[in-house]
């Protein structure tokens, strides 16, 4: 705890209570002589475990509200820290990463609420401990361009795009409130990675917290394929970019807005039904059922059910979503390899790829040959404008919660 006269904002224990994701938290636990074993089993920590379970469950249900637990607001800094560590350990031991990733979103959002009103010195200190170099000046904060791009890439709001920022001498200047939003992303990334646990600890956690893990698995279901609406889809014939988007969500990783929009529009045109499209997003770390349904409806219902056009290859390439060179992280050889069809000069659209491979695209009467205009190119039908008047909504309608 803070010594007499120590500035509260930078007191390590108080900071750890407000920002339990900071590396210092481990040292504080060590100072309290608390081990993973005692946190899991000692009756003295049942209160911390109960609060940790509540944090994990609420995050799984409503990632945007996890900071709203009444018990959390009135808990001591030590209890908040212990419950956080307990939740992180249990979620890191879960068989699938979905609940951990959703909790990372929730905790990052909660940290943002605190950081957005923190004194500048505290903001700077938290950033430093997170490994993000933020310079603070009166009423402003600055980051290096590369750091800014790394943190801002998944943020939905258009005002975070680099083109709209004040950039000088390799640094981006933002308001302290926006710096807090960028740090939220740094927190989410750091918490989304499982805490390293020894195999015997993983087994012990799974054994002791069986009920909690079962409840989390129910609240964060894995993406599923529904037979009736899925029957006509030839998933193995989807283009590499679409398969990569699906893998990203199935692993519980974040997919950019442009990717989310493209996937929904593509699946719709490939004939997937509404529920199948919604299911594709269940692995997203910020999945929200009602928001996803609303956005899928928005993408698919347009133009009397024809839906928005998925973006062309050039557009996907400009968003870093084309993987025609292969995906080194893929689990099978085929997806790791370069795809020759994607290098054909006539290939301009993911739906064109799908048709050439034998898939059926909604609203098309025949399977055109390679030289035919690509599906969605505008040459074969009237083109529908995409949200925000662009091929895809970089800050727009991709299904997501944030
Ligand atoms: S070339 Fe087109 S279809 Fe192939 S991976 Fe790239 S964006 Fe997708």
Ligand 1 pocket test: which of 316, 336, 359, 376 has the largest number of ligand atoms within 8 Å of its C-beta?
Answer: 316
**What's residue 204's pLDDT?**
93
Closest by Cα among 18, 19, 160, 185 to 105:
185
Alpha carbons within 13 angstroms on the beta-carbon side of residue 103 total 31
Q: Is the CB of 313 under 6 A from ligand 1?
A: yes
Tokens linked to 96: 């699938």
Structure tokens at 156: 């939905």
Ligand 1 atom closest to Cα of 343? 1
Dist. CA 322 → ligand 1 center (Å): 5
For residue 137, the SS3 value is strand
Separation CA 49–CA 51 (nearest Å)? 5
Round the average pLDDT of the chain to a whole number and report it. Answer: 81
* E strand or H helix at 249: helix 240-250
Q: Is the CB of residue 374 below 6 angstroms from any atom belonging to ligand 1?
A: no
266 C-alpha to ligand 1 centroid (Å)? 12
Alpha carbon nearest to ligand 1 atom 1, residue: 342
- Of 387 and 334, the structure prediction assigns the larger pLDDT to 334
pLDDT-based confidence at residue 99 (cuts at 50, 70, 90)? confident
What was the pLDDT predicted at 312? Answer: 96
pLDDT at 378: 42
The percentage of residues in the chain with a pLDDT greater than 70, rounded to a whole number, is 80
Nearest CA to ligand 1 atom 4: 342
Which pLDDT value is given to residue 352? 95
Is the CB of 239 within 6 Å of ligand 1? yes
Band (pLDDT 50/70/90 cuts) for residue 215 is: very high
What was the pLDDT predicted at 10?
59
Of the pLDDT bands very low, low, confident and very high (cuts 50, 70, 90), residue 143 is very high
pLDDT at residue 269 above 50? yes
Share of the chain above pLDDT 90, in %: 37
Structure confidence at residue 380 (pLDDT):
42
Quote the pLDDT of residue 254: 81
Cα-to-centroid distance, 312 and ligand 1 (Å):
8
Q: What is the pLDDT of residue 173?
A: 95
Read off the pLDDT of each residue in 179-188 and give the average, rounded to a whole number.
92
What mean pLDDT do residues 246-267 have?
A: 90
Tell me how far apart the alpha carbons of residues 184 and 178 are, in angstroms, rounded to a whole number.
Answer: 10
The DSSP symbol for 66 reads G
* Cα-to-centroid distance, 263 and ligand 1 (Å): 13
Mean pLDDT of 294-309: 87
- Residue 399 confidence (pLDDT): 63
Angle (nearest 5°) at CA 183 between 328 and 295:
70
Provide the pairing of β-strand 171-174 with 140-144. Answer: antiparallel
pLDDT category of residue 234 using cuts at 50, 70 and 90: confident
Instruction: Inform me whether the pLDDT recorded for 393 exceeds 50.
Output: no
Protein residue with its CA nearest to atom 8 in ligand 1: 241
Which is higher by pLDDT, 221 or 183? Answer: 183
Structure confidence by residue, pLDDT tens digits, 321-344: 999 999 998 889 999 999 999 999
Residue 323 CA, closest ligand 1 atom number? 5
pLDDT, mean of residues 203-221: 90
User: Where do the structural domains in the chain lie, given as residue ranges?
Assistant: 8-104+195-219, 120-189, 227-389
Q: Is the CB of 353 under 6 A from ligand 1?
A: yes
User: Can you tell me which atom of ligand 1 is nearest the CA of 240?
Assistant: 5
**Is the distance from the beta carbon of residue 324 to the nearest atom of ligand 1 less than 6 Å?**
yes
Q: What was the pLDDT predicted at 225?
A: 46
Which of 315, 347, 376 maximizes ligand 1 atoms within 8 Å of its Cβ, making it the mutation to test the pocket?
A: 347
Reply yes or no on whether the pLDDT at 356 is more than 80. Answer: yes
State the architecture of 227-389 in CATH terms: Orthogonal Bundle (1.10)
Candidate from 49-63, 284-298, 300-314 with smallest mean pLDDT: 284-298
Q: Please, which residues bridge with residue 259 across strands?
A: none
């Amino acid at each position: 705890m803070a010594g007499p006269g120590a500035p509260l904002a930078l007191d390590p224990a108080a900071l750890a209570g407000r920002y339990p994701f900071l590396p210092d938290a481990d040292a504080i636990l060590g100072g309290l002589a608390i081990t993973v074993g005692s946190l899991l089993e000692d009756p003295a920590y049942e209160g911390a475990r109960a609060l940790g379970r509540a944090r994990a469950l609420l995050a799984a249900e409503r990632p945007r509200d996890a900071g709203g637990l009444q018990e959390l607001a009135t808990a001591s800094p030590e209890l908040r820290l212990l419950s956080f560590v307990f939740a992180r350990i249990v979620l890191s031991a879960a068989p699938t990463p979905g609940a951990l990733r959703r909790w990372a979103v929730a905790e990052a959002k909660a940290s943002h609420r605190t950081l957005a009103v923190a004194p500048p010195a505290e903001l700077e200190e938290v950033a430093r401990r997170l490994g993000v170099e933020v310079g603070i000046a009166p009423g402003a904060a600055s980051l290096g361009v590369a750091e800014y791009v790394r943190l801002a890439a998944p943020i939905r709001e258009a005002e975070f795009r680099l083109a709209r920022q004040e950039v000088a001498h390799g640094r981006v200047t933002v308001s302290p409130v926006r710096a807090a939003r960028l740090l939220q992303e740094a927190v989410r990334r750091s918490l989304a990675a499982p805490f390293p646990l020894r195999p015997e600890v993983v087994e012990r956690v799974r054994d002791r917290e069986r009920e909690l893990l079962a409840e989390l698995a129910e609240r964060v279901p894995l993406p599923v394929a529904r037979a009736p609406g899925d029957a006509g889809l030839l998933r193995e014939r989807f283009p590499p970019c679409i398969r990569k988007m699906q893998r990203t969500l199935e692993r519980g990783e974040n997919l950019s807005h442009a990717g989310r929009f493209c996937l929904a529009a593509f699946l719709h045109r490939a004939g997937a039904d509404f529920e199948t499209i919604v299911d594709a997003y269940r692995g997203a770390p910020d999945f929200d059922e009602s928001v996803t349904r609303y956005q899928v409806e928005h993408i698919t219902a347009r133009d009397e059910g024809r839906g928005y056009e998925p973006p062309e290859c050039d557009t996907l390439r400009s968003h870093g979503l084309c993987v025609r060179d292969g995906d080194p992280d893929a689990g099978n050889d085929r997806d790791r390899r370069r795809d020759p069809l994607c290098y054909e000069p006539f290939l301009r659209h993911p739906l064109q790829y799908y048709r050439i491979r034998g898939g059926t695209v909604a609203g098309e009467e025949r399977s055109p040959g390679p030289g035919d205009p690509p599906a969605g190119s505008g040459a074969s039908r009237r083109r529908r404008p995409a949200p925000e008047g662009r091929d895809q909504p970089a800050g727009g309608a991709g299904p997501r919660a944030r």
